[in-house]
Structure 1
Amino acid sequence: MADILVVDDDPVSLTIVTKILEKEGNTVTGCSNARAAIEALTFHEFDLLVTDLIMPDHDGFEVIQAARNLRSGLRIIVLSGIDERVPPELTMQALTKLGVARMVRKPIKPAVLASEVLAVLIGG
């Protein structure tokens, strides 16, 4: 179906997201840090980037910026454990300015992630 790059510093979250997306028939490349993700973006054309925001050293914002510089049309979904007291609309307004299509809050619900990925891949 799609070639997807997943970036998350939490190995459990990375494994869960990878398995959910592979179960849907996608090819998934997983990276546990921003540096590896930026390298992958440099050498491979992905259909979709799914990235965590909060990571040590380099964060998801740097991955998004690199994606915009290297692959301007790449579709992006953000995974976020941002405090639920922050209204999702405010967070999404800020992310939309960076070219992010959707945000999926952690903890990840498989059906929600699969649905959001499909919506973004078919142009929603």
Structure 2
Amino acid sequence: MAKILVVDDDPVTRNLIRAILTRDEHDVTLCAGAVEAIEALSFQPFDLLLTDIIMPQHDGFEVIQAARNLRPEMPVMILSAIDGKVPQDLTAAAFARLGVSRVIAKPINPSLLASEVLAAIVAG
């Protein structure tokens, strides 16, 4: 069981992710935005950060930066509805520079999310 911080401004997506991850007995903390997530990161240790990138006011890059400052070893996964026109290898390279271990495309495939989360946790 891992302690996972999930950050997404869409309540439907947050609840879907919680349902998928709690089914695998993970302890899931949900945040609706970057400010709330950064506060949670400041007070609690997490085994994994799963964050959306495009959110109102503050984006997921700010959450990732805070996570890197507070817990540099924590794996980070991105949720993204990246446009299909952007080459996947280019996107992966850009995210790798941020220390992102995996990118999960939206709409979310539940079995893919579960397996990618497990892989990220095992890889540390």
Q: TM-score surpassing 0.5?
A: yes
**1:54-109 deviations in whole A, cap 9, x for unaligned?**
00100000000000011111101100011122122111111111110000000000
SS in 2 for 1:73: coil
Alignment of 1:79-118 (within 5 A): 79-118=79-118
TM-superposition CA deviations, 1:16-58 (whole Å, max 9, x none): 0111111111000000000000000000000000000000100
- Dislocated runs of 4+, deviation >4 Å: none
What secondary structure sits across from 1:101 in the alignment? strand
Matches within 5 A, 1:1-124: 1-123=1-123
Matched residue of 2:100: which SS?
coil
> Once structures 1 and 2 are overlaid, which stretch shifts more, 102-111 or 77-86?
77-86
Secondary structure of the 1:46 match is coil
Inter-partner Cα distance in structure 1 for 2:30 and 2:87: 29
CA RMSD of aligned residues (A): 0.9
Number of residue equivalences:
124
Between the aligned partners of 1:39 and 1:69, the Cα distance in structure 2 is 13
Runs (5+) with no aligned partner, structure 2: none
Amino acid at match of 1:44: Q
The one-letter code sitting in structure 2 at the alignment partner of 1:74 is M
